[in-house]
A and B are shown apart, each in its own frame.
Chain A
């Protein structure tokens, strides 16, 4: 599992690469939950995540709760068909903001003071 974090404007872009299972999800969660600060804008790029189990879904739910509790925003981009199916079956697609590409994802964050 590889985790890359960069900042584009006021958006924190987190790119994951590798399978997210019960073995790797705790590491991902430990790295990215602290990024959910008040009003933070977080884009999670899953383009290079071919597999995600329920451990990954729990990690996403924790991140969602953290960002929402702190009036932040979370956008997921690059969901593969398989992960999308898993998120649909569990109802997760209903509440996450998702975009097909990184470029589109960067445009959906709400602008402040304008």
Chain B
């Protein structure tokens, strides 16, 4: 593991601390600015969904734990929570590139976050382990 893990309460006010943590890891891994922004965006969007759907909508409270791992090729942010199980790949289906071409009066307001998250990292993994959700965001370092 790279540095210390971060443990925060699963509320929207924690998004700033999560962002600072991801920015710090991106800097330590020497990601370029666009990669660092995209990684922060992906983690922010999924953390927002965990907080609002996994915890608040489900009437649950809990924490989110983040940690980073680094290899010469990749930086991975791991995110673990005790909220309701979710399937980000089902969320993804809600928004499509075709939908993004629709006029603004017709397009739905939801689903954009997951759409953005999936497109912002090189690999996205999700697993339900016991009563926890484990999500991983992978960025390839120094792409040629």
Contacts and interface: CB of A to CB of B under 8 A. Distances in A.
Interface string A18-62: 010111000000000000000000000000000101110110011
B104 A82 contact: no
A51 B37 CA distance: 8
A19 B19 contact: yes
Given A22-B12, A23-B16, A86-B41, A94 B119 contact: no
B7 interface: no
Interface string B18-54: 0100000000000001100100110011001001100
A53 B114 CA distance: 11
A54 B113 CA distance: 5
A90 B19 contact: no
Query: Would you call the interface of chain B mostly helix, strand, loop, or mixed?
Result: helix
Contact of A55 (B40, B48, B101, B119): B48
Interface in B84-117: 100-105, 107, 109, 112-113, 115-116
A70 interface: no
Contacts of B16: 19, 21, 23
Contact of B105 (A23, A58, A65, A81): A65
B13 interface: yes
A57 B112 contact: yes
A91 B100 contact: yes
Nearest to A52: B41
A58 B52 contact: no
B70 interface: no
A-B residue pairs, 9 tightest by C-beta: A91-B100, A54-B112, A54-B113, A23-B12, A22-B48, A82-B37, A95-B104, A23-B15, A58-B109
Interface of A: 19, 21-23, 51, 53-55, 57-58, 61-62, 64-65, 68, 81-82, 85-86, 89-91, 94-95
Interface of B: 12-13, 15-16, 19, 33-34, 37, 40-41, 44-45, 48, 51-52, 100-105, 107, 109, 112-113, 115-116, 119
Given A58-B109, A61-B109, A94-B101, 17 more contacts: A21-B16, A21-B44, A21-B48, A22-B12, A22-B44, A23-B13, A51-B41, A53-B113, A54-B45, A54-B116, A64-B104, A65-B104, A81-B34, A82-B33, A86-B41, A89-B116, A91-B102
29 contacts: A21-B16, A22-B44, A22-B48, A23-B13, A23-B15, A51-B19, A51-B40, A53-B41, A53-B44, A53-B116, A54-B115, A55-B48, A55-B113, A57-B112, A58-B112, A61-B107, A61-B109, A62-B109, A65-B104, A68-B104, A85-B34, A86-B116, A89-B116, A90-B112, A90-B115, A91-B102, A94-B101, A95-B103, A95-B104
